[in-house]
């Protein structure tokens, strides 16, 4: 089937000559001399590519460019006179594939159009393969829940100034998703800077983000550029945004609003063109209600909220993730494991994965290290995963044995497990158990557990 080309130009001679040449080369050509005629022709069928004059009797060809590239994913080549080269360059920024300057040779037009169609074909094939395999930009997921998230990411990534808020439980891959948004955006060639907001005390975090002037405090022997400056032109990823103090939240809000900031100890307002992506495993609405998070910052961050589903809500991705992790750890540890025993896959499917993708990765890393043969067996799995299938679905994850149970001992064990999974972070341990940080502290004291 021949490719359909839309040719829009108010010059009758150009329309006639170009259309005849393209028809002889096997293309199906639809012509229009104005925006109105072009839009009328689009009501029938979608073209495979478009040649658009910038100057038209009833408007600017870039208007049609935005409609075709935005809604229909149609590649466009702009036609321009010498006096409007700047307009053509601006059109490239808006999504045009290329431009032709009048007068142009028909050979050059053919070559430009052929290259445009080939690039578009390859892009679509790559996109289809990524979707079919469930891998996009390092993010693995073919389940309906992840397809929905990835489709949303592909739509919001090009909006390079819009703030994105990533929501989801610990281990769902918010950092990987932030990187994917950056890589799919026009800022992909610029820096991607990640900072964990819970890593440092408030005074050090302010210096880390915004930098400091020489002499701003005791150890400030030289001027230091903050991560906001380092990320200029690129993306700043603020992980665990809910851990920021109220004072820093205020300064961050000011920066997001007008992209200006001051170094610690400084008096000059500095500017940095940075896209902000934030992430949290907390319910910020609850934090706002409790007075721990600024409401105005919350509203400013959630311009484009994206919630990552927990692994238990995308179980069909577990085999694909498991295979990917096994291959990754094969390379890392010099192993030659071909796959997983069917019983292993059944156990992985039955386990609830409270630690999400990160926990699955840790389990498979352990399994690869312990496996000597070519297939991972049940014995390579940790006890909690091996026991997942033994729990009665109707009774839930907890059962009372015939001899009863020591409730305090159970509470202590759950407390220790939560602390292990959270690597000693009391706030995260509390989230896993549905307890406050204060309640966690009281139980540590009750059971004589050293923090």
Give 27-37 pLDDT, tens digit per residue: 999 999 999 99
Cα 161 from Cα 277, distance rounded (Å): 10
Contact 282, 169 (CB under 8 A): no
Per-residue confidence (pLDDT) for residue 28, from 0 to 100: 92
230 C-beta neighbours (distance < 10 Å), count: 15
- The CATH number linked to 56 is 3.40.50.2300
Residue 357, domain member (yes or no): yes
Measure the CA dihedral 84/87/89/95, to 10°.
Answer: -140
Residue 451, domain member (yes or no): no
203, 245: one domain: yes
* Mean pLDDT computed over 236-259: 93
Number of domains present in the structure of the chain: 4
Q: Which domain holds residue 417?
A: 407-446
Residue 170, domain member (yes or no): yes
83: region left, alpha or beta (phi > 0 left; psi from -120 to 50 alpha): alpha
Contact 320, 134 (CB under 8 A): yes
* Mean pLDDT computed over 393-399: 46
- The dihedral built from the CA positions of residue 430, 433, 439 and 443, taken in this order, carries a sign that is negative
Asked if the model's pLDDT at residue 397 lies above 70, the reply is no
Measure the CA dihedral 140/348/363/134, to 10°.
Answer: -10
Cα 197 from Cα 279, distance rounded (Å): 10
- Confidence band, pLDDT 50/70/90 cuts, at residue 444: confident
324, 205: one domain: no
Measure the CA dihedral 236/240/244/250, to 10°.
Answer: 50
Checking 215-222 for CB contacts under 8 A at 24+ apart, the result is 215/265, 216/263, 216/264, 216/265, 216/266, 217/264, 217/265, 220/264, 220/265
- Angstrom CA distances, 124 to 74, 82, 130, 134, 238, stand at 11, 33, 10, 15, 32
* Mean pLDDT computed over 248-274: 90
Cis peptide before 103 (omega within 30 of 0): yes
151, 221: one domain: yes
- The CATH number linked to 413 is 1.10.10
Cα 326 from Cα 376, distance rounded (Å): 9
250, 349: one domain: no
Q: Among the listed ranges 117-131, 157-171, 211-225, 385-399, which one has the minimum average pLDDT value?
A: 385-399
Per-residue confidence (pLDDT) for residue 83, from 0 to 100: 52
141, 211: one domain: yes
343, 233: one domain: no
- The CATH number linked to 355 is 1.10.8.60
Q: Which residues contact 290 (CB under 8 A, 6 or more apart)?
A: none
318, 347: one domain: yes
Residue 116, domain member (yes or no): yes
Asked if the model's pLDDT at residue 216 lies above 80, the reply is no
Quote the mean pLDDT of the chain: 85
């Amino acid at each position: 089937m021949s490719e359909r080309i839309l040719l829009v130009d108010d010059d009758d001679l150009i329309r006639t000559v170009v259309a005849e040449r393209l028809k002889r080369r096997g293309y199906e050509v639809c012509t229009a001399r104005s925006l109105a005629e072009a839009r009328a022709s689009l009501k029938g069928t979608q073209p495979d590519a478009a040649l658009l004059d910038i100057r038209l009797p009833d408007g600017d060809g870039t208007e049609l460019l935005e409609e075709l590239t935005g809604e229909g994913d149609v590649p466009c080549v702009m036609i321009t006179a010498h006096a409007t080269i700047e307009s053509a360059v601006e059109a490239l920024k808006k999504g045009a594939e290329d431009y032709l300057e009048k007068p142009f040779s028909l050979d050059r037009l053919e070559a430009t159009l052929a290259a445009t169609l080939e690039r578009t074909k390859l892009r679509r094939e790559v996109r289809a393969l990524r979707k079919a395999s469930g891998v996009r930009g390092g993010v693995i997921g073919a389940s309906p829940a992840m397809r929905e998230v990835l489709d949303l990411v592909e739509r919001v990534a090009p909006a390079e100034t819009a703030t994105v808020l990533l929501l989801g439980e610990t281990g769902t891959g918010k950092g990987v998703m932030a990187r994917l948004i950056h890589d799919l955006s026009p800022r992909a060639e610029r820096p991607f800077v990640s900072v964990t907001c819970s890593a440092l005390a408030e005074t050090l975090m302010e210096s880390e983000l915004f930098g400091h002037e020489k002499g701003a405090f005791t150890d400030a022997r030289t001027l230091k550029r903050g991560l906001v400056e380092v990320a200029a032109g690129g993306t700043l990823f603020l992980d665990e945004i809910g851990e920021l103090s109220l004072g820093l939240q205020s300064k961050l809000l000011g920066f997001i609003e007008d992209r200006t900031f001051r170094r610690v100890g400084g008096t000059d307002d500095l500017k940095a063109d940075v896209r902000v992506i934030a992430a949290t495993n907390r319910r910020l609405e609850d934090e706002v209600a409790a007075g721990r998070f600024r409401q105005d910052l919350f509203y400013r961050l959630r311009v484009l909220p994206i919630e990552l589903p927990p692994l238990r809500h995308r179980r069909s991705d577990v085999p694909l993730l498991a295979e990917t992790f096994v291959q990754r750890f094969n390379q890392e540890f010099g192993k030659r494991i071909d796959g997983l025993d069917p019983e292993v896959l059944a156990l992985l499917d039955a386990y609830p994965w409270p630690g999400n993708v990160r926990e699955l990765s840790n389990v498979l890393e352990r399994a690869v290290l312990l496996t000597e043969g070519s297939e991972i067996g049940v014995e390579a799995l940790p006890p909690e995963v091996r026991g997942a299938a033994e729990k009665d679905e109707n009774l839930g994850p907890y059962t009372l044995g015939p001899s009863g149970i020591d409730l305090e001992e159970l509470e202590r064990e759950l407390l220790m497990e939560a602390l292990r999974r959270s690597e000693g972070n009391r706030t995260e341990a509390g989230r896993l158990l549905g307890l406050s940080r204060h309640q966690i502290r009281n139980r540590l004291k009750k059971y004589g557990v050293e923090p």
